Structure 1
Amino acid sequence: MAIKQQSNKFIQMTTAPVERLICSLAIPSIAIMLTTAFYNMADTYFVGSLGTSAVGAVGIAFPLMAIIQAMGLFFGQGSGNYISRALGAEETEGASKMAATGFFTALIVMASLSILGLLNLPSLVRLLGATETILPYAMEYISFILVASPWMAAAMVLNQQLRFQGSAVIAMVGMLTGAILNVFLDPLFIFVFDLGIRGAAQATMCSQIVSMAILLIGGSKKDNIRIRFKHFSPRLSIYREMIRGGIPALLRQGLMSISTIVINHFAGVYGDAAIAAISIVNRIYILAGSIMFGFGQGFQPVCGFNYGAKLYARLKRAFWFCIRLSSAGLLLTSVVFAIFAPRIIALFRNDPEVIRIGALGLRLHCISLPFTAWLVICNMMTQTIGKALEASLLSMSRQGIFLLPALFILTPLKGLLGIQLSLPASDIVGFIVAIPLATRVLRQMK
């Protein structure tokens, strides 16, 4: 019965009209990405009433959250890319071993890193860029985030694996439930139980555990690969495939974390308001990017199945559909954000200095936002089809190869404005670099 269900999914992924198929997968994926953004947005919104330093503490935790997400995406996309190709080639046993190995390895690795972080908490928080006024808030918040990190990474792994199998709706339900729970628990823990910023972290921890449980139980039903410990196969050959598919995501998110730490240290010179404003803009930017990543994630299982089945013309048609639609969506989003930037920033912290810095930063981000559609969709395509070198270069270009040098060059020249200019500048240069790389990969598919 399970083999027949997998066969039905193979037929659907390789024969249904790609536009309709991608949209059916993209809508839940967009909801998942928005949900992930809301996890961070909810904390920032409710913590805003506790003061600028408290908002800054959430910003200090952002690179740590990016690291946790990087590990979840590494194991999730590393295993998920292989799973989609294996199912496209109708190799169910290999897909089952990869799914279990990715899930259990993520739990083990993140539990170890969590213990290490808790044992060195003060040093970790200072490394992330906390000022002396932000430090006590950040230590409270980050300690609970570290405790939650194994469940956060495991939920991300399950989310990615289900998505790559074409079960985006189940993945959406699990993540959306956690996000809604987080929105309700934040004010309850912060204000009713009077736990302050600690309550925001505890709300995130509880909601992430619930998300993981729903994904684990819901993902074992219907025609999905079941996570079973007996399929856990920590072998070099499996990890080689996992690294091949997951390293671009790890590089992308890991470099984003490093860049954010550098930004926090540079912005700290200009006070807690600068850190708070940049933190708010980062979260809004992630929210906008959810449109692009949602279409990209709707494209990835279609890409993996059809690449495994050698249906290259169908893959290219899906690719160009995603480029057109996500670019248009980001262009519209940029216009709206640019017009209402001060009001949007004020929703999170009604501090004139935070609004002034944040509104300018958000408008500068809007200049480059539409260009990121090409960069990210190309990155997802090369990653899914196993082009590790090209995918890694595209991942590193935006958050590392260009952003870090931009920060070190523009900040001494332009001060705080230089920090705000660095990301849009790196986005535009990354877009230019991605054109020949992706074009060459597309031409190779004959």
Structure 2
Amino acid sequence: MEKQTKGVQLLRADPKKAIIKLSLPMMTAMLVQALYNLVDTIWVAGIGPEALAGIGLFFPIFMVILAFAGGVGVGANSLISRKVGERNKVEADKAASGAIVLVIFLGISAKFVGFLVMGPILSLTGASGETLKHAIDYANILLTSITLLMFNNVVNGILRGEGDTKRAMYAITLGAFLNMLLDPLFIYTFRLGVKGAAYATVISIAVSSAMMMNWLFIKKDTYVSTSFRNLKSTNKIIFEIFRVGIPTSFAQIIMSVSVFVLNVFNVKAGGDNGVAVFTSTWRIINFGTIPMMGIAAAVTSVTGTAFGEKNALKLRVAYLYAIRFGLLVGLCVNALVFFFAPQIALIFTYTESSRVIYEDLVKALKILSFFIPTVPFGMFTSAMFQGIGHGLKSLVVSILRTIVLHVFFSWLFVFVLQMGLNGVWLGILMGNIVAEAVTFLWGLAVSSQLKKFFDDQLRLDEAKSVSR
């Protein structure tokens, strides 16, 4: 008999309740993760600007590696949730086992390739001296744990796929809090500097991984059961994971490319100060969208289960309810950022040399605060596409939003209409509004098509049963 965990029961029950109950733990986990990133930066900043710059050099490369791990995690999440909906535990088990084997292979490959090319790649940035040394030291230590870090990402995807976002939250928050505690100990008490920050991260990853391994391989109290002895149809499983995972990975990478292009516009419109204003503002806006990311994770799992059940009505209810929930959250965050923009700007302009960007930063925060309520329409549509296994649609959505419309409207307002820095902010906002509207209409059309497809399948099955 199939074992019924609380997470699986939740996925198969009321979609509105599932969206809320699965979203809240992921929101918490992601907020804690964001807090850790901030605290980690503060501790490293105490070593000196070269140390901070060194970590900054490695960060984009690290994010590319994580993008592929995150893609496999989303692919596993989507496939497992669909199999939960189909009540096909055997295939769900194969999906979990295949995802783990795949990510271990990718992690080991990334580690060895990283050790070979990391030094030359970091040198290409033009950095030298202490900054380059810090970057290489930090990178080489983190690369030793890259397999475990990728394993963490995939197991989180597996847990989300079976509706167990609470344990996904436990693993993420344990690692983040442990890292925050170990950072000052290794950096300052043991006087390891940047290496200490890297060692603290490695230990935190190892502890978090041990917790996950205990659930999967020792206690074995998850819905899925992992076995590596008989991995039949592995090619099919890997294809299904990659069908969602690869577009998701490239979507994350494309966002980084878009930010790079927008920074070119910022330099044209406001020089180095323009980049500083954008960097500070974008961090706040990204922080404001963290609750949306938690809801999006729930959308992928709930719509994936509904798709597996061939229940188009449940899928549409979950999708639209999540958007209403996200819009409400987004409007609240929008109001907070808009009305407290002067106070928020002080966080980045507390020194005399940085006060020159204060006025521009307040304007940027006020304009881009309206970006936040538009996010659910695109992000949750993309998450729904991932849930039903249409990863390519999710990638198209990201390209439309970031590369095409953000860049086009910013270029139009800065270079054609000569609106200066405000043109960049208005361009991002206008691009997002247009992209999210188009994406949302596409999402509604796809959900309607699914209803027709499932209805036709049901009629065909009924006709076959009558003929027998």
Tell me the TM-score range normalised by the shorter chain. 0.7 to 0.9
CA displacement at 1:400 relative to structure 2: 3.1
Report SS of the residue matched to 2:94.
helix
CA displacement at 1:76 relative to structure 2: 0.9
Worse-superposed segment, 394-403 or 93-102? 394-403
Match of 2:436 in 1: 431
Match of 1:392 in 2: 395
Worse-superposed segment, 382-391 or 55-64? 55-64
Task: Measure, in 2, the Cα distance between the counterparts of 1:288 and 1:394.
Answer: 21
1:298 aligns with 2:295: no
Report SS of the residue matched to 2:229.
helix
1:203 aligns with 2:200: yes
Alignment of 1:336-347 (within 5 A): 336-341=336-341, 343-344=343-344, 347=347
Task: Measure, in 1, the Cα distance between the counterparts of 2:445 and 2:132.
Answer: 48
User: Structure 1 stretches of 5 or more lacking a match?
Assistant: none
- 1:440–1:293 CA distance, 2 compared to 1 (3 A): same
* 1:141-183 Cα shifts (integer Å, max 9, x gaps): 3333333332222111111110110011111111110011111
CA displacement at 1:59 relative to structure 2: 4.0
Structure 1 letter corresponding to 2:445: R
Match of 2:102 in 1: 105
Match of 1:288 in 2: 288
Task: Measure, in 2, the Cα distance between the counterparts of 1:283 and 1:318.
Answer: 29
CA displacement at 1:196 relative to structure 2: 2.9
Match of 2:39 in 1: 42
Alignment of 1:246-285 (within 5 A): 246-260=245-259, 279-285=279-285
Match of 2:212 in 1: 215
Match of 2:317 in 1: 317
Worse-superposed segment, 342-351 or 206-215? 342-351
Task: Measure, in 1, the Cα distance between the counterparts of 2:87 and 2:281.
Answer: 44
Asked if structure 2 preserves the Cα contact closer than 8 Å seen for 1:48 and 1:55, the reply is yes
Worse-superposed segment, 184-193 or 124-133? 124-133
Worse-superposed segment, 390-399 or 354-363? 354-363
1:18 aligns with 2:47: no
CA displacement at 1:434 relative to structure 2: 0.9
Match of 2:329 in 1: 329
Asked if structure 1 preserves the Cα contact closer than 8 Å seen for 2:377 and 2:437, the reply is no
Worse-superposed segment, 325-334 or 253-262? 253-262
**Quick one: which of 441, 447, 452 aligns to 1:442?**
447
Asked if structure 2 preserves the Cα contact closer than 8 Å seen for 1:56 and 1:276, the reply is no
1:372 aligns with 2:369: no
Structure 2 letter corresponding to 1:222: D
* 1:51-76 Cα shifts (integer Å, max 9, x gaps): 55544444444422321331122111
Task: Measure, in 1, the Cα distance between the counterparts of 2:385 and 2:124.
Answer: 33
TM-score by length of 2: 0.82
Alignment of 1:79-94 (within 5 A): 79-94=76-91
Report SS of the residue matched to 1:93.
helix
Asked if structure 1 preserves the Cα contact closer than 8 Å seen for 2:118 and 2:136, the reply is yes
- 1:372–1:52 CA distance, 2 compared to 1 (3 A): farther
CA displacement at 1:409 relative to structure 2: 7.0
Worse-superposed segment, 395-404 or 96-105? 395-404
Give the % identical residues: 28
Report SS of the residue matched to 1:4.
coil
Task: Measure, in 1, the Cα distance between the counterparts of 2:229 and 2:404.
Answer: 41
* 1:6-60 Cα shifts (integer Å, max 9, x gaps): 6x76554233x33222211111111222233234222223233345554444444
Asked if structure 2 preserves the Cα contact closer than 8 Å seen for 1:18 and 1:317, the reply is yes
Which structure: larger Rg? 2
Asked if structure 2 preserves the Cα contact closer than 8 Å seen for 1:66 and 1:256, the reply is no
Asked if structure 2 preserves the Cα contact closer than 8 Å seen for 1:264 and 1:275, the reply is yes
Task: Measure, in 1, the Cα distance between the counterparts of 2:130 and 2:56.
Answer: 13
Match of 2:237 in 1: 238
Structure 2 letter corresponding to 1:379: S
Task: Measure, in 2, the Cα distance between the counterparts of 1:54 and 1:411.
Answer: 35
User: Structure 2 stretches of 5 or more lacking a match?
Assistant: 452-468
- 1:434–1:307 CA distance, 2 compared to 1 (3 A): same
1:70 aligns with 2:73: no
